[in-house]
Amino acid sequence: MNNIVFLPVLLPLITGVVLIFFAKKTGIQKGISLLSSLCGVAAALFLVQYISKTGIQALQVGSWKAPFGIVIVADMLAALLVLTTSLVGTAVLLYSFRGIGQEREKFYFYSIFQFLLVGVNGAFLTGDIFNLFVFFEVMLMASYVLLVLGGTKAQLQESLKYILVNVISSALFVITVAYLYSIVGTLNMADIGRRISEAGQPGILTVIAVLFLVVFGLKGAIFPLFYWLPGSYYAAPIPVLALFGALLTKVGIYSILRTYTLMFPHKQGYTHELLAILAILTIIVGVIGAIAYWDIKKIIIYNIVIAVGVIAFGISLMNQDGLSGSLFYLIHDMIIKAALFLLVGIMMKITGTSSLREMGGLIRIYPVLGWTFFLAAISLAGIPPFSGFAGKLLILQGAAEKGAFIGMAVVLVSSLLVLYSIIRIFIYGFWGKEKTYSPPSHIHVTKLLTPAILLVAVSILYGIGTEFVYPFIIQGTEPLLDPQIYIDAVLKEEG
Amino acid sequence: MKTNDLILQTVTKVAAFVIILFSISIFLGGHYSPGGGFVGGLMTSCAVVLLLLAYDLKTVAGLLPIDYKIMIACGLLISVSTVAGSWLFDAPLMTHAFSDFNFPVLGKTTLHTAVLFDLGVYLVVIGVTMTIIQTIGESE
């Protein structure tokens, strides 16, 4: 029985519910949530290995046959993203044990944390467009609470904006699904894909494709729709920020990837061209932001925008190299962004400020932190042995095949500027003259540093083990290039 | 001037009882007629809200000593275990089962595990509504 594919959703859901009973006992909460996270990683590993052997797994929830019930579809793409989510979740959880503070822990922090994972994993695994909406809402509701929990002035101010933007984009999502339903008459993604390819994607479906781009662009922060992200993310406490930066925008990108390869691959001249232009503009805006600021949190936040642009550009190419490059880069970026936010959090804890101008000389007292940050920085920029390299190389190859030389140039130059923006943190923060900080200058950071080192280690292994990972990536992109594989796997019992 | 709520309180005593009975009837009838866990839960919490209007937070808390946050958790747990329970019978998750039973007084009755899922919804709806109203009511 392939109930196992739902385990990445069920496990955090049960954990989140059980944690409500132990609201005031933080010790028990930490124990249970750590145990569940480790089980989650094990389950996700098993899922990846299981799918690599047996192909796409579709679970027909409630024993209802495919287009009529909800299907949970685990292909390699979803399984890899679920595995990455579990890894990031575990690391951020470990950081939260030390980094979030009692007053938040007692107000259901760990429960909401688990519900966020429910939403993210569910969105990756579902095979039903309305179910995707529901999991989006699960994820967003949890993120609203995590953003506002603690109730400082900045948090209240920014969560108001964040909720407003997301309520509007969710309403637009419902409207778009309603349009789509009134035309194709089904909500199952495989069935929608089949019917659109039978109809050859007439004009109205291209309109719906663009509407989906607007919806998922708002969630995933692509160019004209990214404006809410820098402020909202800036207000969140560090573990929450790491979780948001690593997971939330990536779910939007995943949804673009899924809908544009499965449902709307027929009129690429318009939709994918539009995606490419927006992606390039996203990269440019992100780069400008990343260079402009002297605030370490802001620099990393704008790096999220750049990565979203690079991945979206890879998706818009729609060839083997472009898509596998995107998938490669997506997984790399989820891990490295979480790691960078955790490292930046430790720097802020030591110095008590997030302004680069007020720090310096950290490497003398904290050499491990410094060199971990250095490794994370060059991984982010994509220096060859590290994890950012293979993905960007594949995307560039894909762009060369397609003749998209402007995009290629922008991605290349952006790598350089990403490196500049992040190395600036290293140079000004870790080198130079030591400065004295108002709280005691030497605090113990080992316990906070462990999860960050863990993530950087995973990222380095991911970079070195490219040869090992590549077959999985190829298997992940197969149903993207040929949606018929996905459709057949889901609707198999029909014939 | 001291207000006297005698009429309101006396009517509430009768009305709250009737509303709760009606909400349970709607909850149980959900499979065959309009209604179900959501409406039933809302209506039950309406009865409690009526009590809150007629009396005050403290009296009602004494009358119904329930932690509504725990109620949410219980409701979720019931629903999730109904979903996960089908795993034990080697069926896809959320597969529901039903069967006919003969009871001494009620006669032939069909029992369905979907009711358990609905019971979870019912408890969550009551829990959420009451948590919202209580926390807003208590905060100064």
Rounded-to-integer distance, Cα B29 and Cα B23, Å: 10
pLDDT, position A439: 58
Q: Report H helices in A352-404.
A: 362-365, 367-381, 387-402
What confidence score (pLDDT) does residue A495 get?
42
Of A142-146, A157-161, B95-99, B119-123, the one with minimum mean pLDDT is B95-99
User: Mutation test of the interface with chain B: which of A4, A5, A6, A126, choosing the one with the most B Cβ atoms within 10 A?
Assistant: A6
Name the residue facing A62 among B73, B87, B94 (closest C-beta): B94
Closest-CA residue in chain A for B90?
A: A1
Of A1, A21, A61, the CB nearest to B90: A1
Counted across chains A and B, CB pairs separated by less than 8 A come out at 43
Instruction: Give the count of beta carbons closer than 10 Å to the beta carbon of residue A72.
Output: 24
Q: Of A6, A3, A77, A10, which Cα lies nearest the Cα of A486?
A: A77
Q: Is A35 in the B-facing interface, judged by CB distances under 8 Å?
A: no
Chain A partners of B127 at a C-beta cutoff of 8 Å?
none
Provide the residue type at B131 as one letter: T
Pairwise CB contact (< 8 Å): B92 & A3? yes
Contact between A17 and B73 using a beta-carbon 8 Å cutoff: yes
- Distance (Å) from the C-alpha of residue B20 to the closest C-alpha of chain A? 27
Burial of A294 (C-beta count, 10 Å sphere; 0-12/13-18/19+): middle
For residue A376, which phi and psi values (nearest 5 degrees)? -60, -40
What pLDDT shows up at residue A130? 95
The CA distance from A395 to B126, in Å, is 52
* Min Cα–Cα distance to chain B from A34, Å: 20
**Nearest chain B residue to A17, by CA:** B73
Stated pTM of the model: 0.94
Option in B77, B83, B92 nearest A63 (CB): B92
From CA A178, how far away is CA A215, in angstroms rounded? 13
> What does the angle CA A80 – CA A417 – CA A224 come to, to the nearest 5 degrees?
70
Q: Show residues of chain B in contact with A1, CB under 8 Å.
A: 87, 90-92
User: Is the Cβ pair A23, B69 closer than 8 Å?
Assistant: yes
Task: DSSP for A111-147, please give it.
Answer: HHHHHHHHHHHHHHHB-BHHHHHHHHHHHHHHHHHHH
Q: Are A369 and A343 in contact (CB under 8 A)?
A: yes
pLDDT confidence of residue A494: 47
Q: CB A409: neighbour CB atoms within 10 A?
A: 13
Q: Is A23 on the interface with B (CB under 8 A)?
A: yes
Q: Which of A91, A83, A89 is nearest to A43 (CA)?
A: A83
DSSP 3-state assignment of B3? coil
Q: Would an 8 Å CB–CB cutoff place A13 in contact with chain B?
A: yes
Q: What is the pLDDT along chain A (495 residues), one digit of tens a residue?
A: 588 899 999 999 999 999 999 988 889 999 999 999 999 999 999 999 999 998 898 999 888 888 899 999 999 999 999 999 999 999 999 999 988 888 888 899 999 999 999 999 999 999 999 999 999 999 999 999 999 998 899 999 999 999 999 999 999 999 999 999 999 999 999 999 999 999 888 899 999 999 999 999 999 999 889 999 999 999 999 999 999 999 999 999 999 999 999 999 988 888 999 999 999 999 999 999 999 999 999 999 999 999 999 999 999 999 999 999 999 999 999 999 999 999 999 999 888 888 888 888 888 888 899 999 999 999 998 888 888 899 999 999 999 999 889 999 999 999 999 999 999 999 998 888 877 666 555 677 888 899 999 999 999 999 999 999 999 999 999 999 999 999 999 987 544
- Determine the Cα–Cα distance for residues A91 and A86; give it in Å rounded to an integer: 9
Task: Determine, for residues B92 and A20 on separate chains, whether the beta-carbon distance falls below 8 Å.
Answer: no
Alpha-carbon distance of B56 to A136, in angstroms, equals: 39
Please check whether residue A22 touches B, CB under 8 A.
Answer: no
Which pLDDT does position B95 carry in this prediction?
87
Closest by CA to A248, choosing from A275, A229, A263, A224, is A229
> Which of A446, A487, A492 minimizes the C-alpha distance to A195?
A487
Q: Is the distance from CB of A345 to CB of A448 less than 8 angstroms? A: yes
Distance CA A310, CA A275 (A): 11
Tell me which of A400 and B98 has the higher pLDDT. A400
